[in-house]
């Protein structure tokens, strides 16, 4: 992998930043959305996320942790130890060694704990990059690297596996579960086509098209704050806005939601890691 | 929690269980709730009790937001009974304050400071003043709300109580129960009523 036009991309982001600031005020919504899409299409070949993928590659191949082994020589993402091509788009999947359905991020964490000897609590202490952090956590870079090896391959969550199917059905229930002070569920905002909050379009995660919009492009480099983030973070922030307590990192509930959404996008070709607003 | 609501909900559950729509699979639902209960941690003001359903939420969840009409009507009446009317009897406040309140989508998340005032969250979902183009579409457009309806005492009462407890008129409405849950104080709700009904408000210009 090589970094293409990264300097040019970073300069262009300054322009995009002011564009986004204006959208909140008075640029016509459709026009603003179109401008952003155009910008994103131009930038897709020079995504700063490529830097994260490069760091992820180093981390994947390096002997690390108390057990001093590499993930490349110990971690099975479902297709055999060290095999990366197409692994991301086939997760969440059932892993016999863990007796659990796991999404990609959770599986990599599992490998870091079980194979390399890292402590889960240490990884879970700060799993996401904040706008004031100079770099992304190792786990984010690893997810970026793994996801990059599924570019151009269709989402293929195996719903024929009864264990995956059950988690999918539970995820559907989680998506529709209303609670909390505002009576919100995921589906309050993401349950019908064509809605938006303020200027932000809301994909309907129950539909193929909407679920595709929700999972496509993640993990992503996000222009807001200039941070690299994963779907685990996206779910965390949705629950925050839903006024729920905080979901535990890499938990069953998050896997269930990601199983539901990703499987709803089955068949669609993955393009990512991407750029998000 | 209003005892009537709990009683009504309990009475309704056996009937609902017998007439579940296809989506709300009881087995998966039970597993989902058990999973949710073990997978969250309290943070800031967002404590774990927020994960539990109250009576209205449980019935909406179990019926895919389409409860049988008779049950919905009975529970909507219970919700209307929760509305606390302002002591001074006035329902219209200051539309300018209402407009500021409508702009803020803050409040109640684990990052927000506990306590009032929180935002009205109005523009997140509704078109209100024509001057604000950054509005959401989850709720209906409220442009010209007062112009179309006038601001009779009945209309004022309807708008006040709708903001106080939206579930009084549509049990499974997507709109939060702003007064009922203590997100908005009566004075703030009055300001929002004025935003919608005052002839001087940009909504009606």
Mean pLDDT, residues A129-157 taken together? 97
Q: Is A238 labeled as catalytic in the residue annotation?
A: yes
What ipTM was assigned to the predicted interfaces of this complex? 0.89
Q: Do A199 and B134 touch (CB under 8 A)?
A: yes
Q: How far is B110 from chain A (nearest CA, A)?
A: 7
- A-contacting residues of B 117-146, CB under 8 Å? 123-125, 133-138
Split at pLDDT 50, 70, 90, the class of B22 is very low
Q: Say if residue B148 is exposed, middle or buried (CB neighbours under 10 Å; 0-12, 13-18, 19+).
A: exposed
User: What's the pLDDT tens digit per position in B139-198?
Assistant: 999 999 999 999 999 999 999 999 999 999 999 999 999 999 999 999 999 999 999 999
Q: Do B137 and A23 touch (CB under 8 A)?
A: no
Q: Do A181 and B53 touch (CB under 8 A)?
A: no
Split at pLDDT 50, 70, 90, the class of A274 is confident
**List of chain B residues whose C-beta atoms are within 8 Å of the C-beta of residue A23:** 134
**Residue in B1, B5, B9, B46 to test binding to A, most A beta-carbons within 10 Å:** B46
User: What's the pLDDT tens digit per position in A42-100?
Assistant: 666 678 889 999 999 999 999 999 999 999 999 999 999 999 999 999 999 999 999 99
Mean pLDDT, residues A27-50 taken together? 69
Decide if B142 contacts B196 (C-beta within 8 A). Answer: yes
Three-class SS state of B191: helix
DSSP track, chain A = ----SHHHHHHHHHHHHHHHHHHTTTS-HHHHHHHHHHHHHHHGGG-THHHHHHHHHHHHHS-BTTTTB-STTT-B-SSSBT--TTTGGG-SEEETTTTEEE-HHHHHHHHHHHTT---HHHHHHS-S--TT-SS--HHHHHHHHHHHTTTT-B----TTSHHHHHHHHHHHHHHT--BTTTTB-HHHHHSSTTEEETTEEE--TTSHHHHHHHHTT-SEEETTTTEEE-HHHHHHHHHHHTT--EEPTT-HHHHHHHHHHHHHTTTSBP--SEEE-
Split at pLDDT 50, 70, 90, the class of A276 is confident
């Amino acid at each position: 992998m090589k970094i293409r036009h990264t300097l040019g991309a970073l300069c262009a982001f300054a322009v995009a930043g002011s564009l986004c600031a204006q959208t909140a005020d008075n640029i016509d919504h459709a026009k603003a959305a179109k401008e952003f899409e155009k910008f994103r299409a131009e930038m897709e070949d020079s995504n700063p996320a490529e830097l994260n993928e490069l760091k992820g590659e180093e981390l994947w191949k390096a002997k690390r942790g108390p057990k001093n082994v590499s993930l490349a020589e110990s971690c099975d993402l479902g297709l055999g130890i060290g095999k990366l091509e197409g692994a991301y788009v086939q997760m969440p999947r059932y892993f016999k060694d863990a007796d659990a359905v796991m999404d990609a991020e959770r599986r990599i964490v599992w490998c870091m704990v079980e194979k390399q000897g890292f402590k889960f609590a240490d990884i879970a202490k700060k799993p996401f990059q904040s706008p004031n952090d100079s770099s992304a956590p190792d786990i984010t870079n690893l997810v970026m690297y793994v996801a990059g090896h599924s570019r151009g391959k269709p989402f293929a969550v195996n719903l024929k596996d009864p264990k995956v199917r059950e988690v999918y059905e539970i995820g559907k229930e989680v998506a529709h579960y209303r609670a909390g002070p505002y009576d919100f569920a995921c589906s309050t905002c993401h349950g019908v086509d064509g809605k938006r909050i303020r200027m932000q379009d809301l994909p309907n995660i129950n539909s193929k098209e909407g679920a595709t919009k929700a999972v496509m492009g993640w993990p992503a480099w996000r222009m807001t704050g200039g941070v690299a983030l994963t779907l685990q973070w996206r779910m965390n922030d949705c629950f925050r806005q839903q006024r729920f307590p905080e979901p535990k990192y890499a938990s069953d509930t998050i896997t269930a939601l990601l199983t539901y959404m990703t499987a709803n996008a089955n068949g669609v070709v993955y393009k990512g890691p991407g750029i998000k607003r | 929690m209003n005892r009537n609501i709990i009683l009504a909900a309990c009475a309704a559950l056996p009937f609902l269980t017998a007439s579940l729509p296809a989506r709300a699979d009881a087995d998966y639902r039970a597993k989902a709730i058990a999973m949710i209960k073990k997978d969250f941690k309290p943070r800031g003001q967002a404590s774990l009790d927020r994960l539990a359903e109250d009576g209205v939420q449980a019935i909406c969840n179990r019926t895919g937001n389409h409860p049988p009409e008779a049950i919905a009507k009975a529970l909507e009446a219970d919700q209307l009974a929760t509305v606390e009317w302002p002591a001074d009897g006035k329902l219209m406040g200051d539309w300018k304050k209402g407009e500021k309140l409508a702009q803020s989508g803050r409040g109640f998340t684990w990052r927000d400071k506990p306590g009032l005032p929180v935002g009205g969250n109005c523009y997140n979902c509704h078109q209100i003043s024509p001057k604000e183009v950054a509005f959401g579409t989850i709720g209906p457009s409220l442009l010209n709300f007062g112009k179309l309806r006038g601001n009779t005492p009945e209309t004022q009462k309807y708008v006040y109580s709708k903001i106080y407890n939206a579930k009084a008129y549509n049990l499974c409405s997507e709109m939060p129960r702003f007064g009922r849950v203590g997100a908005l104080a009566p004075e703030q709700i009055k300001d929002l009523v004025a935003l919608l009904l005052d002839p001087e408000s940009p909504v009606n210009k």
